């Protein structure tokens, strides 16, 4: 695997990863995102529906949370998780935790880390974790890590998290070399350190000394850290990391946060945000168009005004506080007789075939197709946003894009 | 697009069953042994090959399957429920959307029921009078009257290719004067429905034969309703928990008395054995929620019964659901993977729904091919043997029903007059 940096603009790294995967014949444009799945399936989607999308991420992410309980099955199957899930031609990155699933705190020890599957908690030692990775046979995987720190964690707890994670990494790397089935896979080291700058820096420096293929920045999820602090911590960490290896940030996905994290030196995210938007019955509708035609931007701002006006009227909606300015709530009555596509010009299956009124109907009647169509649309929009971000970096238009993304913030 | 152009061309060549109806039935083959037949049913949104199973998309969607997926499976006609769609989103909205086809973006044919059955089965507080079915809306508590005129008005708004008359539905296990009253009222309501249809040039109205399990009442209903020049007939009031011996006798009585040149739709029937047997009795169309509903519980239909994929026995079973199945699920996924996915995501349901719809449609295609190729009785024997491999386990009603149309099963004896070599 090789990372070629084409240019760095305002801290943002525009590059390409080549020779990706065990076969070495995949590539990945940076900044980019990994395709979030559970058990190898993008929520709501089958292979058939997923592949109506044109530009899917080259790397599929599968959290260990959704796999640990299937260890015996995968071992008996013997062909690895990609083959088991019918993902024959995908590159697979096995992460530790599902960013969306809840993770009770206080279960990690010096010897073990816990994951949560459908049947509850599974405690994993390094040896067990590596046995699982051997059965999964990923192209990339992260080392076992203790990311169980909160904003209020003591210095002692944070230091312990860094130490344990480094020790886990050393053990993983040792076993990695001696495991025949993992030949050709890349181990990603995990940077911990909670919100303590000096621990973050120590974790980054130490991890960078090890023979890892890339880095996962852990413990910086939206819900635990403010964006300002997150950007500072990430910038301090990435300064310590080698330029020629990818940096992955999991659990952060709002477009405005993505932009700031890219400026702080992050290369890869996951498509968790479009899934979360789907789960609350919403559709991404933010503008990331670098050259909007003047007519549509006028219409857009008008629509935005009415949106804000109406928003104050219906605060009976649940999850109201979670809904971001990047999405529209299709359960809202105003879409009942709105026969426009979700987003004009969107190339997804949903927008090419259906109208807002239909999605509204599917949502109020609790039909399964709502999740399918919204997931497709939200993935399309999210991947296109990353495409636009890469183009902005190439065309010196980052500030214009930032302005467009952030304009609705206030 | 292609489908509707093709159907227009065919409409010119084949005479519609009645001067005005936008439907034509071309009988391609009739089984020389049984009453089975293979037809092309030409409808406004393309030709339907019969015998046909019609999946049920209650609320304008097929349970997590996209319209394109359903079309790719070869589905040419599916159902929508008037009761549900009439409540939400309501006929005005669907009219604004230019009909149900456009609203759900389904390019092929749609059949809608009358709403009466749901009303009686789902809504506790419903009362039937000569005027119609009176009920309380479960959404806002308002009193609503579903009259024959209202049912047709809603179905006209939906724009379905086949509409069903409002009938007076009574449980198939009820006996006594209520059955006769319901049958006679259904005839009066049929006339009101025919008069109320605003789009006889675009929408076909089917009559529904009632009469419970009483042969005399069924026959009376058949005699009366077949006097009307409706485009097709449904056999109603069955598949509601009655004895299977009563069920098939009512079906065969109905097909004996229905006109040869019009389609026959057996409502609410969808188990594989019933589909095969009732095809032998001369039915052309079937519908049932079972294959899609059972899919969501992890039950996959196979030629030898069904697989409960959530059961532990499939955790390490790396074969596809059915190695012979050509559906997208079986081509890509194993039983073990689906078993694992059922613990994680609703996509597991979609995979099995795709497979089950494919199973039903493929089964009906095989029935049709065997009729056309003149080997339907042999097909039935092979099918039944695979479904019931243990000797002596054929359901007796199926043995009797098939014997009544001269199909004897291997190793099964229907009693007197049996010509089986094993007897
Ligand atoms: Zn879209
Ligand atoms: Zn299949």
Over the stretch A372-396, which tens digit does the pLDDT of each residue have? Answer: 999 999 999 999 999 999 999 999 9
Question: How high is the pLDDT of residue B70?
Answer: 98
Whether the bond into B89 is cis, omega within 30 of 0 = yes
Task: Name the band, by pLDDT with cuts 50, 70 and 90, for residue B141.
Answer: confident
- Give catalytic residue positions of B: 113, 287
Mean of pLDDT over chain A: 92
Strands (E), B66-174: 77-80, 109-112, 126-128, 133-136, 143-146, 162-164
Average confidence (pLDDT) over B235-261: 95
Average confidence (pLDDT) over B403-407: 98
Predicted TM-score (pTM) of this structure: 0.94
Mean of pLDDT over chain B: 92
A186/A91 Cα distance (integer angstroms): 11
Question: How high is the pLDDT of residue B172?
Answer: 85
Q: How far is CA B177 from CA A22, A250, A366, B214, in A?
A: 76, 70, 41, 11
CB contact under 8 A, A73 and B347: no
Average confidence (pLDDT) over B55-78: 97
Distance B295 CA to ligand 2 centre (A): 12
pLDDT at A185 over 60: yes
Question: How high is the pLDDT of residue B412?
Answer: 64
CB contact under 8 A, A85 and B62: no
Task: Name the band, by pLDDT with cuts 50, 70 and 90, for residue B121.
Answer: confident
The burial class, CB within 10 Å (0-12 / 13-18 / 19+), for B322 is: buried
How many C-beta neighbours within 10 Å does residue A315 have?
A: 8
Which of A44, A342, A368 to mutate to test binding with chain B, by most B CBs within 10 Å of its CB? A368
Over the stretch A125-182, which tens digit does the pLDDT of each residue have? Answer: 999 999 999 999 999 999 999 999 988 899 999 999 999 999 999 999 999 999 999 9
Average confidence (pLDDT) over B283-306: 98
The three-class DSSP label of residue A393 is helix
pLDDT at B67 over 90: yes
Option in A41, A336, A364 nearest B347 (CB): A41
Tell me which chain A residues have a C-beta less than 8 angstroms from the C-beta of B340: 39, 70, 73
Over the stretch A2-60, which tens digit does the pLDDT of each residue have? Answer: 999 999 999 999 999 999 999 999 999 999 999 999 999 999 999 999 999 999 999 99
Tell me which chain B residues have a C-beta less than 8 angstroms from the C-beta of A49: 66, 69, 350
CB contact under 8 A, B347 and A44: yes
Average confidence (pLDDT) over B73-93: 96
Task: Name the band, by pLDDT with cuts 50, 70 and 90, for residue A293.
Answer: low
Task: Name the band, by pLDDT with cuts 50, 70 and 90, for residue B392.
Answer: very high
State the nearest Cα–Cα gap between A186 and chain B, in angstroms.
Answer: 25
Tell me which chain A residues have a C-beta less than 8 angstroms from the C-beta of B71: none
Which ligand approaches the C-alpha of residue A343 most closely? 1
Q: Which helix (H) or strand (E) holds B50?
A: strand B46-50
Task: Name the band, by pLDDT with cuts 50, 70 and 90, for residue B12.
Answer: very low
Question: How high is the pLDDT of residue B19?
Answer: 56
Average confidence (pLDDT) over A284-308: 65
Over the stretch B142-196, which tens digit does the pLDDT of each residue have? Answer: 888 999 999 999 999 999 999 999 999 888 888 899 999 999 999 999 999 999 9
Q: Which residues contact A140 (CB under 8 A, 6 or more apart)?
A: A59, A91, A92, A93, A94, A185, A186, A187, A188, A213, A214
State the nearest Cα–Cα gap between B345 and chain A, in angstroms.
Answer: 6
pLDDT at B101 over 70: yes
Over the stretch A89-103, which tens digit does the pLDDT of each residue have? Answer: 899 999 999 999 988
Question: How high is the pLDDT of residue A13?
Answer: 98
pLDDT at A319 over 70: no
CB contact under 8 A, B59 and A117: no
Distance A242 CA to ligand 1 centre (A): 38
Which ligand approaches the C-alpha of residue A352 most closely? 1
Tell me which chain B residues have a C-beta less than 8 angstroms from the C-beta of A84: 334, 336-337
Distance A87 CA to ligand 2 centre (A): 18
Over the stretch A221-258, which tens digit does the pLDDT of each residue have? Answer: 867 689 999 999 999 999 999 999 999 999 999 999 99
Question: How high is the pLDDT of residue A308?
Answer: 43
Question: How high is the pLDDT of residue B422?
Answer: 44
Length of chain B: 423
């Amino acid at each position: 695997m090789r990372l070629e940096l084409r240019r760095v603009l305002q801290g943002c790294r525009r590059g390409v990863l080549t020779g990706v995967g065990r076969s070495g014949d995949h590539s990945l444009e940076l900044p980019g995102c990994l395709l979030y799945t559970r058990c190898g399936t993008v929520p709501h989607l089958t292979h058939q529906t997923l592949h109506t999308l044109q530009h899917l991420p080259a790397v599929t992410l599968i959290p260990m949370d959704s796999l640990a309980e299937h260890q015996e099955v995968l071992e008996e199957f013997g062909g690895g998780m990609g083959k088991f899930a019918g993902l024959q031609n995908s590159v697979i990155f096995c992460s530790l935790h599902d960013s969306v699933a809840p993770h009770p705190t206080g279960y990690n020890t010096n010897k073990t880390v816990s994951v949560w599957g459908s049947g509850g908690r599974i405690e994993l030692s390094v040896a067990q974790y590596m046995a699982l990775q051997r059965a999964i046979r990923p192209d990339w995987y992260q080392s076992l890590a203790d990311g169980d720190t909160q904003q209020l964690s003591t210095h002692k707890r944070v230091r312990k998290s860094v130490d344990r994670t480094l020790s886990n990494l050393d053990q993983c790397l040792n076993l990695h070399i001696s495991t025949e089935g993992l030949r050709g896979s890349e181990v990603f080291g995990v940077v911990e350190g909670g919100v303590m700058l000096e621990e973050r820096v120590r974790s980054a420096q130490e991890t960078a000394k090890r023979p890892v293929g890339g880095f996962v920045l852990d413990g910086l999820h939206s819900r635990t850290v403010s964006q300002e602090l997150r950007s500072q911590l990430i910038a301090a960490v990435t300064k310590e990391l080698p330029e020629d290896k990818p940096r992955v940030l999991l659990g952060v996905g709002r477009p405005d946060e993505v932009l700031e994290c890219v400026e702080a030196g992050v290369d890869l995210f996951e498509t968790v945000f479009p899934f979360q938007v789907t789960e609350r019955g919403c559709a991404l509708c933010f503008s990331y168009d670098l050259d909007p035609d003047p007519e549509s931007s006028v219409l857009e701002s008008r629509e935005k005004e009415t949106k804000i006006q109406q928003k104050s009227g219906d605060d009976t909606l649940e999850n109201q506080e979670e809904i971001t300015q990047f999405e529209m709530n299709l359960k809202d009555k105003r879409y009942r007789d709105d026969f426009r596509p979700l987003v004009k010009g969107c190339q997804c299956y949903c927008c090419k075939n259906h109208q807002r009124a239909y999605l509204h109907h599917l949502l109020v009647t609790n039909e399964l197709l709502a999740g399918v169509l919204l997931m497709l649309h939200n993935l399309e929009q999210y991947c296109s946003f990353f495409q636009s971000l890469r183009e902005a970096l190439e065309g010196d238009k980052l500030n214009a894009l930032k302005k467009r993304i952030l304009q609705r913030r206030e | 697009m292609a489908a509707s152009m093709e159907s227009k061309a065919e409409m010119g060549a084949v005479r519609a069953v009645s001067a005005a109806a936008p439907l034509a039935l071309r009988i391609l083959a009739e089984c020389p042994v049984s009453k089975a037949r293979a037809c092309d049913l030409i409808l406004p949104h393309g030709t339907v090959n019969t015998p046909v199973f019609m999946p049920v998309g209650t609320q304008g969607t097929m349970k997590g399957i996209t319209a394109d997926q359903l079309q790719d499976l070869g589905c040419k006609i599916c159902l929508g429920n008037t009761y549900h769609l009439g409540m939400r989103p309501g006929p005005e909205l669907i009219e604004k959307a230019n009909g149900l086809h456009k609203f759900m973006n389904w390019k092929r044919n749609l059949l809608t029921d009358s709403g009466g059955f749901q009303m009686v089965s789902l809504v506790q507080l419903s009362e039937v009078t000569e005027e119609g079915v009176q009920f309380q809306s479960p959404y806002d508590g308002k009193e609503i009257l579903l009259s024959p005129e209202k049912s047709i008005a809603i179905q006209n708004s939906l724009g379905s290719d086949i509409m069903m008359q409002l009938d007076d539905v009574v449980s198939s296990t009820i006996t006594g004067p209520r059955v006769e009253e319901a049958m006679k009222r259904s005839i009066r309501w049929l006339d009101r429905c025919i008069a109320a249809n605003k789009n006889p040039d675009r929408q076909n109205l089917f009559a529904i034969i009632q009469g419970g399990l009483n042969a005399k009442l069924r026959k009376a209903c058949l005699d009366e309703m077949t006097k009307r020049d409706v485009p097709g007939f449904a056999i109603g009031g069955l598949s509601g928990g009655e004895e299977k011996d009563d069920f098939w006798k009512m079906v065969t009585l109905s097909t004996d008395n229905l006109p040869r040149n019009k389609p026959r739709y057996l409502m609410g029937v969808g188990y594989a054995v019933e589909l095969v047997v009732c095809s032998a009795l001369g039915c052309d169309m079937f519908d049932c929620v079972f294959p899609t509903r059972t899919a969501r519980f992890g039950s996959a239909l196979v030629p030898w019964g069904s697989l409960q994929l959530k059961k532990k026995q499939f955790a390490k079973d790396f074969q596809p659901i059915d190695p012979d199945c050509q559906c997208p699920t079986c081509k890509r996924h194993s039983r073990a993977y689906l078993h694992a996915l059922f613990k994680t995501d609703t996509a597991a349901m979609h995979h099995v729904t795709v497979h089950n719809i494919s199973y039903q449609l493929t089964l009906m295609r095989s029935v049709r091919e065997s009729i056309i190729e003149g080997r339907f009785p042999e097909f039935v024997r092979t099918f039944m043997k695979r479904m019931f491999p243990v000797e002596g386990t054929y359901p007796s009603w199926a043995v009797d029903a098939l014997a009544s149309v001269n199909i004897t099963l291997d190793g099964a004896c229907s009693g007197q007059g049996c010509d089986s070599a094993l007897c």
